[in-house]
A = this chain, B = another copy of it.
Amino acid sequence: MNEDKYFQIRTDLAVEAREMYVEEEKQTEDIEGVLLKEQKIKGFQVTDVRVDKTGEKKIDKKAGRYITLETDAIKNGDSNQQQATAEVLSVLLADLLKENNINESAQCLVVGLGNDYVTPDALGPQTVKKILVTKHLFTYHPEMVAEGYRPVSAFSPGVMGVTGMETSDIIQGIVKELNPDFIIAIDALASRSIDRVNSTIQVSDTGIHPGSGVNNKRKALSYENFGIPVISIGVPTVVDAVTITSDTIDYVFKHFGREFKEKDRPSKRLAPASLTFGKKTLTESDMPSQTEKANLFGMIGKLDETEKRQLIKEVLSPLGYNLMVTPKEVDSYIHDLAHLIATGINGALHENVNSELANSFTR
């Protein structure tokens, strides 16, 4: 497989990387070295992807565990469902800590990546603001700390354009000075699909890698670099014009494919199939042979996903039109997401923070 493609048209989400591999390689769903488990928890779709060294080479995602939690609670502005999502996140995160042999008293450094002054990139800093920090109490007032809490510190390193420094260098310096036992890093991601924006939360134990996130980093935040586990929590908050166009072409094709199937099959030779949208009707004569992508979209329809994206990108980029965009309601989405994720983290880190309590801490 051509590794190169993935570098150019990559995704931060393991579930997407897996889907891309399946599609491109025309494989069955089973990929050697990539174990997939899907389930519903409290009604939310949770996908658990485990990648080993074999799988790492195939889908170009580092070996480790990637848990994806899907929720409509942010888009719908539904605060009850946001609270329920936070509780599920808390459970998933706690499970991942356990699997990585991180015990209840291990010291955590929470890192909020991104730029607090660019709303769609402010997810990390806004989450950090709502983290329940306790390390200073452990240091200076140990008598004030009740059972069921661990030492937690939290921090937003900013972005290179504002600080002039590599984000990983800043974190490296703090890790060496403060000696936390593990890191949780929160980052806003770029999505490769419209419908994941602000609705997919990925939790992983593989750290954060160069070129990921809304603001690209140059060095990995990882066990290899820092010597301690790095748990990452990422949510796609932006999408580029290439993705919007590519997704839309796919949706149009799926829509027509379905419509023609529904309409054609029963009455196949009896009446000509037709498709209506607005005041326009397309009949079979508009689509001579069969309902193939090629007829609907011509040459473009014949390209596979990666080729199509590459083509669109090559056209838009020189024009300066491959914008990274975000839904216009970005302010309230980021506000609610930061609240949700901080609630999930607070609940997972401190045994004694039940979700209701966690909620009141972060209001």
Contacts and interface: CB of A to CB of B under 8 A. Distances in A.
Interface of A: 2, 4-5, 8, 75, 79-80, 116-121, 128-129, 133-137, 139, 151-156, 158, 160-166, 169-170, 172-178, 194-195, 197, 214, 238-239, 241-242, 244-245, 247-249, 251-252, 255, 277-280, 282, 286-287, 293-303, 306-307, 310-312, 314-316, 319-321, 323-332, 360, 363
Contacts of A173: 173-178
19 contacts: A4-B279, A75-B320, A117-B331, A117-B332, A118-B332, A133-B164, A134-B164, A135-B164, A152-B164, A170-B174, A173-B175, A194-B241, A239-B325, A241-B248, A244-B248, A287-B299, A297-B301, A325-B326, A326-B330
Contacts of A277: 307, 310-311, 314
B241 A316 contact: no
Given A195-B321, A241-B248, A248-B316, 12 more contacts: A116-B116, A117-B332, A118-B329, A118-B331, A128-B162, A136-B166, A152-B164, A154-B163, A214-B328, A277-B314, A278-B310, A296-B298
Nearest to A155: B163
Contacts of A166: 136, 139
Copies of this chain in its oligomeric complex: 4
Contacts of A316: 248, 251
B135 A315 contact: no
Nearest to A299: B296
B323 A327 contact: yes
Contacts of A195: 319-321
